[in-house]
Amino acid sequence: MKRITLALALATAQLTSLSAHAVEYNQVQADKSAVNFVYKQMGVAVDGKFKKFSSQLSFDPAKPAAGKATFDVELASVDTGAPEGDDEVAGKPWFNTKAFPTARFVSTGVKPLGGNRYEVAGQLSIKGKTQEVVVPATFTPQGNSAVFDGAFTIRRADFSIGEGAWAKFDIVANDVQIKFRITASGK
Amino acid sequence: MGFTATRDYTATAKLLHWLMAVLIFGLLALGFYMHDLPLSPDKLKLYSWHKWAGITAFALLLVRLAWRAGHRPPALPNSMPKLMQLAAHGGHLALYLLMIAIPISGWLMSSAKGFQTVYFGVLPIPDLLDKNKEIGDLLALVHKSLNLLFIAVLAGHIGAALKHHFIDRDDILTRMLPRHSKEN
Ligand code: HEM
């Protein structure tokens, strides 16, 4: 008897999330989410990640244009693979996390590209500078939660990331690819 | 007179020996120097140079081992006690083993730390290990410890060569010197 009730409850929950109204996904599941970056150091690809981030997403696959996403990354949570790299990148010439602790993305529009692929336009603010970016992403609902996957490339110089001795691109390239996978559940 | 003339090393052996000697002293100095530098673009550049030079030393070592497999080095003089001869062979074996283990530990460390080695920025050396912080730190310690051991063995090597020259007054040192070259 108990089993059946539980099964019914689960089925109802699933149905609700599939029904065609915008679902708020704002509970990021940290263990199933990641924000990584890849850059080139003297021509060699090196990757790193951010450990702390949060997100507010509201998305209805039936009405993608009405979708909204806000994304915050705690820059001091950077992991470059070396402790001295983490300290350096948190410092003034790079993120200057004391003055600018978070990077923020706020979407301005969502364009469906067919299938589960979308193009999310928005404004990315890092270190007091804001740039328009277009982020190709996929949206995969999974029961009560959804997975957003995407990657885009920024130029670090656009945000004054890496100033002074680091401003040249001979050692650390200008292009930085950001890759993310956000698994979030609705409230 | 206790002087025993032995055969000279061949020109190839001498060339490889001194090329590697210069490279290895450079690598040791660069390794300790770069490690202590604060992070900067120059530090990253020196790390790359160290890795390229280290791979070069390893490649030269492979040539040297291949050469050594087909050639016996000149015998040690009979004036040397058997125990000393044994110590000399053991010392040389230790040098070879360290010259193999040190670059390999550096290569594996780079992989584990997530910084692939790309020889002169063009030839990618495959990563045999996945990125893993604990293993990376451990291999850094291994690389450093092997280098400290290497310095101790090198000190013995150089000390022994000088002792042969100035105390025993045999031709052990001079037979490895370019000037001493006989037709071989
Ligand atoms: C015969 C060849 C080599 C010699 C004699 C040598 C020597 C050294 C020495 C003395 C250090 C300083 C150790 C310390 O203070 O921690 C060092 C560090 C280092 N070596 Fe090598 N090395 C050799 C080959 C290589 C190779 C082939 C690589 C990589 C492909 C490499 C990568 C490194 C790295 C990344 C460090 C820095 C470790 C750290 O800062 O924690 N080395 N090496």
User: Does residue B81 come out as left (phi exceeding 0), alpha (psi in the -120 to 50 range) or beta?
Assistant: beta
| Structural domain span for residue B107 | 11-176
List alpha helices for chain A, DSSP H. 2-18, 83-90
pLDDT tens, position by position, A131-170: 999 999 999 988 888 899 999 999 999 999 999 999 999 9
CA of B44 to the centre of ligand 1 (A): 13
Whether B98 is covered by a domain: the verdict is: yes
Q: Going by CA atoms, what residue is nearest to atom 34 of ligand 1?
A: B106
Identify the DSSP state of A158: G
Q: What is the structure's pLDDT at A9?
A: 52
Choose among A159, A137, A135: nearest CA to A146.
A137
Q: Name the pairing type of β-strands A44-50 and B123-124.
A: unpaired
Asked whether the beta carbons of B136 and B115 are under 8 A apart, the reply is no
Rounded Cα–Cα distance for residues B129 and B59 (Å): 20
**Cβ-count burial of B75 within 10 angstroms (0-12 exposed, 13-18 middle, 19+ buried)?**
exposed
Whether B148 is covered by a domain: the verdict is: yes
Residues of B in contact with A45 (CB under 8 A): 116
CA of B53 to the centre of ligand 1 (A): 10
**Out of B38, B41, B131, closest to residue A171 by CB:** B41
Angle at B52 between CA B50 and CA B55, to 5 degrees: 105
CA of B82 to the centre of ligand 1 (A): 36
Whether B3 is covered by a domain: the verdict is: no
Rounded Cα–Cα distance for residues A33 and B31 (Å): 38
Distance in Å, alpha carbon of B65 to nearest chain A alpha carbon? 31
Q: State if residue B120 touches ligand 1 by the CB under 6 angstroms criterion.
A: no
Q: How many Cα atoms occupy the beta-carbon half-sphere of B138 within 13 Å?
A: 8
Interface touch A81/B133, C-beta < 8 Å:
yes
**Cβ-count burial of A103 within 10 angstroms (0-12 exposed, 13-18 middle, 19+ buried)?**
buried
Angle at A23 between CA A9 and CA A126, to 5 degrees: 135
pLDDT tens, position by position, A77-115: 999 999 999 999 999 999 999 999 999 999 999 999 988
CB atoms within 10 A of CB A139: 22
Whether B23 is covered by a domain: the verdict is: yes
The residue with tokens 């689960």 is A10
The architecture (CATH level 2) of A23-186 comes to Beta Barrel (2.40)
Interface touch A81/B41, C-beta < 8 Å:
no
Q: Cα(first)–Cα(last) distance of chain B, in Å?
A: 26
Q: Name the pairing type of β-strands A102-114 and A68-74.
A: antiparallel
| Spans of all domains in chain A | 23-186
CATH number of the CATH domain containing B101: 1.20.950
Q: Going by CA atoms, what residue is nearest to atom 19 of ligand 1?
A: B31
Beta-bridged to residue A68, according to DSSP, are A58
Element at B89 (helix H, strand E): helix B82-112
**Out of A42, A87, A165, closest to residue B48 by CB:** A42
**ipTM > 0.90?**
no
Whether B111 is covered by a domain: the verdict is: yes
Q: State if residue B164 touches ligand 1 by the CB under 6 angstroms criterion.
A: no
Best residue for ligand 1 mutational test, from B25, B50, B129 (most atoms within 8 Å of Cβ):
B50
Residues with Cβ within 8 Å of B168's Cβ and at least 6 positions away in sequence, in order, are B2, B79, B80
Helix (H, G, I), strand (E, B) or coil at A157: helix
Element at B34 (helix H, strand E): helix B11-36
Nearest residue in chain B measured CA to CA from A48: B114
Q: Going by CA atoms, what residue is nearest to atom 32 of ligand 1?
A: B106
Each residue's pLDDT, cut to its tens digit, for chain B (184 residues) gives: 344 456 789 999 999 999 999 999 999 999 999 999 999 999 999 999 999 999 999 999 999 999 999 888 899 988 899 999 999 999 999 999 999 999 999 999 999 999 999 999 999 999 999 999 999 999 999 999 999 999 999 999 999 999 999 999 988 999 999 865 454 4
Q: Name the pairing type of β-strands A68-74 and A53-59.
A: antiparallel
Whether B5 is covered by a domain: the verdict is: no
pTM of the predicted model, to two decimals?
Answer: 0.86
Q: State if residue B25 touches ligand 1 by the CB under 6 angstroms criterion.
A: no
